[in-house]
Structure 1
Amino acid sequence: MKKSALQQARAAYKPQLPIVLTGGVKVVEGQPTQSADNQEDIQKLFPNTYGLPELRFEKAPAGESAEPINVGVILSGGQAPGGHNVISGLFDGIKNINRKSRLYGFLMGPGGLVDHKYKELTADIIDEYRNTGGFDIIGSGRTKLETKEQFDKGLEILRELNIKALVIIGGDDSNTNAAILAEYYKAIDAGVQVIGVPKTIDGDLKNNVIETSFGFDTATKVYSEVIGNIQRDCNSAKKYWHF
Structure 2
Amino acid sequence: MEEKKNLIVGQSGGPTAAINSSLAGVYSGAKHYGIKKVYGMRHGIEGLLAEKIIDLDDTLDSTFNIELLKRTPSSYLGSCRYKLPKPEAGNEIYKKIFEILEKYNIGMLVYIGGNDSMDTIQKLSEYASMISSSIRFIGVPKTIDNDLPVTDHTPGFGSAAKYIATSISEIVRDSNVYDLKSVTFVEIMGRNAGWLTAASALAQNKFNDGPDFILLPEIGLDLKGFIKVLDNKLAEKNNIVVAVSEGIKDQNGNYISEDEGNVDAFGHKMLSGTSDFMAKIVKTELGVKTRAIEINTLQRAAAHLQSKTDIDEAFNIGFLGVKAGIEGETGVMMYFDRVSDAPYLSIIRKCDINLVANIEKEIPRGWISEDGFGVNEKFIEYAKPLIMGELSNIVCDGIQSHISSLK
> After superposition, where does 1:13-32 map in structure 2 within 5 Å?
none
What CA distance in whole angstroms lies between the structure 1 residues aligned with 2:26 and 2:5?
11
Corresponding position of 1:211: 152
| Residue-by-residue CA offset, 1:73-130 (whole Å, 9 max, x unaligned) | 11112212212111111111111112x5211111112112222221110163461533
Residue equivalent to 2:78: 139
Residue 97 of structure 2 corresponds to 154
Are the equivalent residues in 2 in contact too, given 1:167–1:194 (CA < 8 A)? Answer: yes
Q: Does 1:122 align with 2:57?
A: yes
Cα separation, 1, equivalents of 2:126 and 2:178: 61
The answer as to whether partners of 2:8 and 2:110 remain within 8 angstroms in 1 is: yes
Seen in structure 2, the aligned counterparts of structure 1 residues 155 and 214 have a Cα distance that, compared at 3 Å, is same
The residue number in structure 1 matching 2:108 is: 165
Unaligned 5+ runs, structure 2? 185-407
Q: Is the 8 A contact 2:107 2:136 kept in 1?
A: yes
CA distance in 1, matches of 2:166, 2:59: 34
1:216 Cα shift?
2.1
How does 1:163-242 map onto structure 2 within 5 Å? 163-207=106-150, 210-231=151-172, 237=177, 239=179
In structure 2, what is the equivalent of residue 23 of structure 1?
A: none
* Residue 85 (structure 1) aligns with: 21
Runs of 4+ that moved beyond 6 A: none
Structure 2 counterpart of 1:113, from 11, 29, 48:
48
CA distance in 2, matches of 1:131, 1:73: 19
Separation in 2 of the partners of 1:81 and 1:151? 31
Contact 1:88 1:130 in 2 (8 A): yes
| C-alpha separation in 2, matches of 1:103 and 1:200 | 23
Partner of 1:76: 12
Counterpart residue identity of residue 117, structure 2: S
Amino acid paired to 2:141: P
Rounded to whole Å, the distance in 2 between the matches of 1:95 and 1:120 is 13
* Offset of residue 184 of structure 1: 1.0
Q: 1:109 to 1:124 in 2, by over 3 A?
A: closer
Which residue identity is paired with 1:139? G
TM-score (norm 1): 0.64
| In 1, Cα distance between equivalents of 2:114 and 2:18 | 13
Distance 1:130 1:240 in 2: 44
Greater RCO (Cα-Cα under 8 Å, separation 6 or more): 2
Find the aligned partners of 1:206 and 1:185 in 2 and give their Cα distance.
Answer: 24
Residue in structure 1 matched with residue 359 of structure 2 by the alignment: none
CA distance in 2, matches of 1:167, 1:240: 54
Deviation at 1:232, TM superposition (A): 5.0
CA distance in 1, matches of 2:166, 2:58: 34
Q: What's the Cα RMSD here?
A: 2.4
CA distance in 2, matches of 1:240, 1:230: 16
Residue ranges of structure 1 left out of the alignment (5+ in a row): 1-65
8 Å Cα contact 1:109/1:139 also seen in 2: yes
Higher Cα Rg: structure 1 or 2?
2
2:24/2:70 contact within 8 Å kept? yes
Matched letter for residue 87 of structure 1: L
Judge conservation of contact 1:115–1:153 (CA < 8 Å) in 2.
no
Query: Per-residue CA shift, 1:134-157, capped at 9, x if unaligned?
Result: 11x221111212252211111111
